[in-house]
Amino acid sequence: MFQLPLVRRPTAALYVCDFMQINEITYSLSVLLVCMDFMTSLPYWGILVLVVINAIIVSRMDITVEDDNE
Amino acid sequence: MIDYLSQHWFVILLTLVYIFFCLYIGWYFKKKASSGVREYYIAKREIPGWVISLAFFSTSASTNTYIGQAGKAFQYGLSWAWVGLIWAVFCILAWLVLGPRMRNQSAILNSFTVPDYFQLRYKSDLSKAIRMLSAATILFATMFYMIGIAKGCAHVLEAVLDIPYAWGAFLILFITCAYTMWGGMYSVLWTDAVQGIIMFVVAIIMVSLPFIYVGGVEELMTTLATTDHVTKGGESMGNGLVSFGHLVSFMYILGIGLSIGMKQISDPKSLIRFYSIDNAKSMKFAMIWTPIFLGISLICVMGLGALVHGMASQEEAAHLIQNTDEVVGFMLQKMDNQLISGICVAGLFAAGMSSLASVILIVGTAFVKDIWDAWKPQSEQVIIKQTKMTMALYCALVFVVTLFPPAGIVELTAFAGAVYAASFFPAIFGGLYLRWGTDIAALSSMVVGMLGTVIWRFGFRLRIESLKDIHEIIPAFLLSCLVYLIVSRMTKHRIPDSEHLDRLFSV
């Protein structure tokens, strides 16, 4: 049976996750957010969403800066 | 003495290294900064984006954030992070809406300070009065802000190093004053950048301490949800720490959030950062990264006080709830770890110093360039000398008042923020975007904003129980914006000449 060479990728990804303890961190973060009600947790993840949106908007902007008028 | 040193040597060592580093930067830029007003006031508009970005972040977040706001969450729970969300929104708006325009118009007008921007932008026989009034507003509002910061730092030094409150306040004020006097805007921005890095790391360290102390995320969150601690009024908190609106009204959060967040779109110490940026690439970098630095730090710090409940006994919590400015000091004491305390004290010092340095310079420039020099012009070297002298005298005055502080850190800085936002924002935004904005409108909105803030706070909010959660920023800001728009429309004959406006709005 033909085997896809991509099979190795998830294994590597799982290894990286394990090395960086991403599962533990993700679990801890989810516990943290679940323990609060929605409105209390909103500012914590809301800030992250906002800064990402801002980064996308700014990276597409055309910005000019004037030379100093000495 | 030997006992004291053996107990605190590491914290003292780290703090000393940090202080000498700041003083060295000031000394390093001394000659360059003193070569002219342009160099001393705005660092010749030659500062790279990453430095401005970190400097803006470290100036916006101060002891108020790391001690005052973090401590407030002890009283109001994890929903206090809403203040952080509002703050992050205004940080983004400041860079998107004001940053590039302020940089460009200030360069075209050859403006060195925010008050002189008003004079040069509105260009009339009245604009000098606007400049002087805005400088006087800065001198008034900055006093409250500096007291708040000095008070917070003095509390930390008292808790961690047993340094008496008065000595702590003296040290933070005069060390910062020294390097600001030497290196002007150069030393303010470069030390701010380094302080920004320290603050970012310390925010992450601080938020992890309660989890480490209690033994895990689940353990701490369960403790918070079932705490037997009492509120300031003596009632049981229940699950108020993790529930929205139980311990504090949203109106109060909104008021404090707006007054602190809106400082970024109106406070001269933040706006002056835009003046010094060197090119478009740097501007773009700062526009992206400043909200990231600030946002992540706020996520870590704004709910910190609530987490400290997991470290406190019922008696300790009863004391801390009445004295929320002491919560962070208590947390460090409880951890009882020299390395962590040393790093955190350096970070808290950095938070206080970065904001203090900026406002100290703003006070000096406002008094000397915008009042004294505007009234009686002087040579550049005399202006620099007088600016240094003014900064030292103002710090001495702040020190005396800090010994008898009139309110808590958060309230003090929020009041200063409200004064700036209500007085300056309409004139700044109108100046940058509205060709039809006039000098009389700018002056009227400043007067109305300032009076509105003071009258609402002392005449209504502190006297009428039902209005206590409506912060002065809300009515005063709305009123001053309205006044600017109406008066501008009524005084169309005062619009500056079109040649001047074409030059300003050409970019």
For residue B40, CA distances in Å to B34, B43, B56 come to 6, 6, 18
Report d(CA A45, CA A28) in Å as an integer.
14
Show pLDDT as tens, one digit a residue, over chain B (507 residues): 778 788 778 878 888 888 899 999 999 999 999 999 999 999 989 999 999 999 999 988 877 788 888 999 999 999 999 999 999 999 999 999 999 999 999 999 999 999 999 999 998 989 999 999 999 989 988 888 888 888 888 887 887 788 898 999 999 999 999 999 999 999 999 999 998 999 999 999 999 999 999 988 888 888 888 888 988 888 888 888 988 888 988 888 988 888 888 888 988 989 999 999 999 999 999 999 999 999 999 999 999 999 999 999 999 999 999 988 889 889 988 888 878 888 888 888 788 888 889 899 999 999 999 999 988 889 999 999 999 999 999 999 999 998 887 766 666 677 777 888 899 999 999 999 999 999 999 999 999 999 999 899 888 888 888 888 788 888 999 999 999 999 999 999 999 999 999 999 887
Closest by CA to B53, choosing from B203, B278, B258, B348, is B278
Residues of A in contact with B244 (CB under 8 A): 37-40
- Answer yes or no: do A47 and B299 touch at CB < 8 A: yes
Q: What ipTM was estimated for this complex?
A: 0.87
- Answer yes or no: do B284 and A68 touch at CB < 8 A: no
The alpha-carbon gap from B299 to the nearest alpha carbon of chain A, in Å, equals 6
Q: Which of A46, A47, A65 sits opposite B283 (nearest CB)?
A: A65
| A1 and B CB contact within 8 Å | no
Q: What is the largest CA-CA distance in chain A?
A: 75
User: Any idea where the domains of chain B sit in the sequence?
Assistant: 2-505
Residues of A in contact with B298 (CB under 8 A): 47
Residues of B in contact with A46 (CB under 8 A): 85
**Phi and psi at residue B310, to the nearest 5°:** -70, -15
Q: What is the pLDDT of residue A8?
A: 47
| Alpha-carbon torsion (B55, B56, B62, B65), positive or negative | negative
- Answer yes or no: do A51 and B295 touch at CB < 8 A: yes
Residue-wise pLDDT tens digits, B23-58: 999 999 999 999 999 999 999 899 999 999 999 999
Please tell me the pTM assigned to this model: 0.89
- Spatial contact of B64 and B260, defined as CB atoms under 8 Å apart: yes
A30 or B229, greater pLDDT:
B229
Has residue A14 got a pLDDT over 70? Answer: no
- Answer yes or no: do A64 and B109 touch at CB < 8 A: no
- Spatial contact of B283 and B100, defined as CB atoms under 8 Å apart: yes
Q: What is the pLDDT of residue B342?
A: 80
The alpha-carbon gap from A15 to the nearest alpha carbon of chain B, in Å, equals 24
Q: What is the pLDDT of residue B29?
A: 94
Q: Which residues of B431-457 are buried (b: 16+ CB within 10 A; e: fewer)?
A: bbebeebbbbbbbbbbebbbebbbebb
Count Cβ atoms within 10 A of the Cβ of residue B161 and give its class: 0-12 exposed, 13-18 middle, 19 or more buried: middle
- Spatial contact of B70 and B305, defined as CB atoms under 8 Å apart: yes
For residue B189, CA distances in Å to B230, B334, B353 come to 43, 34, 12
SS3 A68: coil
- Answer yes or no: do A51 and B77 touch at CB < 8 A: no
Q: Which fold has domain B2-505?
A: Sodium/glucose cotransporter (1.20.1730)
Surface of A (7-46) touching B: CB under 8 A? 28, 31-32, 35-40, 42-44, 46
Q: What is the pLDDT of residue A25?
A: 67
- Answer yes or no: do B85 and A39 touch at CB < 8 A: no
| B310 and A CB contact within 8 Å | no
- Answer yes or no: do B110 and A70 touch at CB < 8 A: yes
Quickly count: other Cβ atoms within 10 Å of residue B350's Cβ. Answer: 27
| A63 and B CB contact within 8 Å | yes
Residue from A21, A26, A65, A67 to probe the interface with B (highest B Cβ count within 10 Å): A65
